[in-house]
Amino acid sequence: MDEEVVLEGFHAVKHALRFGAVVEPLVVLDRDAAVAFARTHAPDLVEAFGRAVEVDAAGFARVAGRPHPTGVAGVAARPVVDWAAVVPSSPLVLLDNPRNLGNFGAVVRVSAGLGARGVVSIGTVDPWHPTVVRGSAGLHFALPVARLAGPGELPGEVIAFDADGEDLRGAHLPDDAVLAFGSERHGLSDAVRERADRVVSLPMRPKVSSYNLTTSVAMALYHWDLFRRAS
């Protein structure tokens, strides 16, 4: 049976619906308010929010588990990824043992925005943990998101990001590459570093020690997209 994913808030539900999820139930505390919000923030989904089930606070808590400022929540099935059907036309983002759930969700969000092929992780954190889904604003449904057993499952060229690598500004990132990023505290694991075909570094001003994980992923994907368009 498919696992259920709780969607907290208007934007998580909005993105899930836009990318094909069946959100059932979709509940709201005030249907008129939800429809009015949709008219200004997601006019393509006014009809969907008009069909939402209006519930009281207790009913909302039964679905969402806790209150939300937008008074919107829903439940959707966690999609099953058919990796054989995923065309390698853009990089795959790998998070090597990520620990911060909010950062993980933000990486999914920026990866969806910049057109990554998907986001995969290695380690103990469930990529579909509620906090990760909350951080992505529901954009887990916009691209494949999954956990791998280890770096041996990675397809194609693996380009790892680390401070001791070649400068990214002179590097070409192929469309079918895997872009690997270490954890916020410990960096790349030995296993991923050994699997890497290349190691590159992000440009950084002297005396600045590191970037946030989400910033690093955004810079890498933007570099890929910018030079792909220029070529």
3-state helix, strand, coil in the chain (%, to 5): 40, 25, 35
**pLDDT at res. 229:** 74
The architecture in CATH of the region 83-230 reads: 3-Layer(aba) Sandwich (3.40)
**Residues of the chain whose pLDDT is less than 70?**
1-2, 230-231
Are 119 and 133 in contact by the 8 Å Cβ rule? The answer is: no
**pLDDT at res. 168:** 93
CA angle centred on 136, ends 173 and 121, rounded to 5°: 55
**pLDDT at res. 231:** 64
**pLDDT at res. 1:** 38
Helix (H, G, I), strand (E, B) or coil at 64: helix
The residue ranges of DSSP E strands in 168-215, in sequence order, are 178-181, 198-201
Q: What is the pTM of this model?
A: 0.93
What pLDDT, in 10s, does the model give residues 142-167?
Answer: 999 999 999 888 888 999 999 889 99
Q: Closest Cα to residue 173, out of 200, 196, 153, 193?
A: 200
Residues facing residue 54 across a β-bridge: 28
Whether 83-230 and 4-77 are alike in CATH topology: the answer is: no
What pLDDT, in 10s, does the model give residues 187-226?
Answer: 899 999 999 999 999 999 988 888 899 999 999 999 999 8
The CATH code for residues 4-77 is 3.30.1330
Q: Closest Cα to residue 103, out of 212, 185, 228?
A: 212
**pLDDT at res. 2:** 60
**pLDDT at res. 148:** 93
Report domain extents, the chain: 4-77, 83-230
Instruction: Give the burial class of 130: count Cβ atoms within 10 A of its Cβ; 0-12 exposed, 13-18 middle, 19 or more buried.
Output: middle
